[in-house]
Amino acid sequence: MKNGIAWWLGLLAASLAAGCVNIDVESKAKQFYVLQDTGRSQCQKPPGSGALLIDVLTPAAFYNANTLAFSKGAGSRGYYQYAQWTDRPANQIGLLVRDRLRQGCLYRQVALSGEGLTGEQQLSLRLLELYHDVSSSPGQAVIELDVQLIRRDAARLIAQKTFRVTAPAAGFDAKGAAAGMNQALTRLLDELAAWLAQQPRG
C-alpha cells in the first residue's frame, strides 16, 4: 500500500514538474469573452474617395471555434475548457475591420460583403491563427491574418500581406489570454490601416 501511494505521489510530482497542469485556473463555469478593438479613433478630416467591400474568407477551422485556443509549444494546440468567445473570431474580426476603417479617412464607404454596398475595391480577410502561447508564464497572444486587396472591376490583385502580431497576455489564464488577444488585434488593425494607406485607391 505504501509503495502504491509513493508511486502515485511520484507521478504527481513529475507531472507538476513537467508543467502538466490545467492552465485555466478560473472557476468551472463557462466564461464568455468579447474580441475587441481597443484603439479606435474618429477621423478628423473628410474621408477619401472610393468604396471598400470587405469579404471574410473561410478561416482556419481550429482557430474559428467559439472556444479560446492555446498552445503549449510548437505543433501543440488545445482549447480552454470553460472559456468561450461571444461570436466566432472570423466574423467578429470582419466587423472590427469594417468599423475601424469606417472611422478612418481612407474611404468614402466601407461595408461587409452582403451589406448592400458595391465597392471599387475588395479587402479579403482570412484568419490563420489566434491562440494563447502558454510555453512560458503568463504567455502571449498570437494572431495571424492574411489580407488581399483586389480591384473588383478588373479582378486584379493590388496587394497582399500576412499580418502576424503578438502581445503579452494579462495573466496565465483565459481572462488574461482574451485581454492579450484584444491588444494583439488592436495592433494588427493599426498595422492594417497603415498598410492600406500606402495602397492605390483609384
Which region, left, alpha or beta, applies to residue 139 given φ > 0 means left and ψ of -120 to 50 means alpha?
left
How large is the average pLDDT for residues 171-189? Answer: 97
pLDDT above 70 for 8: no
pLDDT above 60 for 4: no
How large is the average pLDDT for residues 180-186? Answer: 98
Query: What are the cell numbers at 105?
Result: 479617412
pLDDT at 47: 73
Provide the whole-model pTM: 0.85
Q: pLDDT tens digits for 71-82?
A: 999 899 999 999
pLDDT at 202: 63
Domain edges within the chain = 26-197
How large is the average pLDDT for residues 10-34? Answer: 58
Identity of residue 80: Y
- Residue 27, classified by CB atoms within 10 Å of its CB into exposed (0-12), middle (13-18) or buried (19+), is exposed
- Phi then psi dihedrals of residue 56, to 5 deg: -90, 110
Q: What is the 3-state secondary structure (H, E, C) of 129-140?
A: EEEEECCCCCCE
pLDDT at 21: 38
Q: pLDDT tens digits for 102-159?
A: 998 899 999 999 898 888 999 999 999 999 999 999 999 999 999 999 998 888 999 9
Average pLDDT, the chain: 87
Fold (CATH) for 26-197: Rossmann fold (3.40.50)
117's CB contacts (< 8 A; 6+ apart) are: 51, 53, 109, 111
Which has the closest alpha carbon to 188: 167, 158, 157?
167
More confident residue, 162 or 200: 162
pLDDT above 70 for 197: yes
Helix axes 174-197, 89-102, angle to 10 degrees: 40
Of 20-29, 108-117, 141-150, 186-195, the one with minimum mean pLDDT is 20-29
Q: What's the CA gap between 40 and 38, in Å, rounded? A: 6
Q: Are strands 76-85 and 109-112 parallel, antiparallel or unpaired?
A: unpaired
- Range with top average pLDDT, 22-31, 44-53, 140-149: 140-149
Distance, first Cα to last Cα, the chain: 80
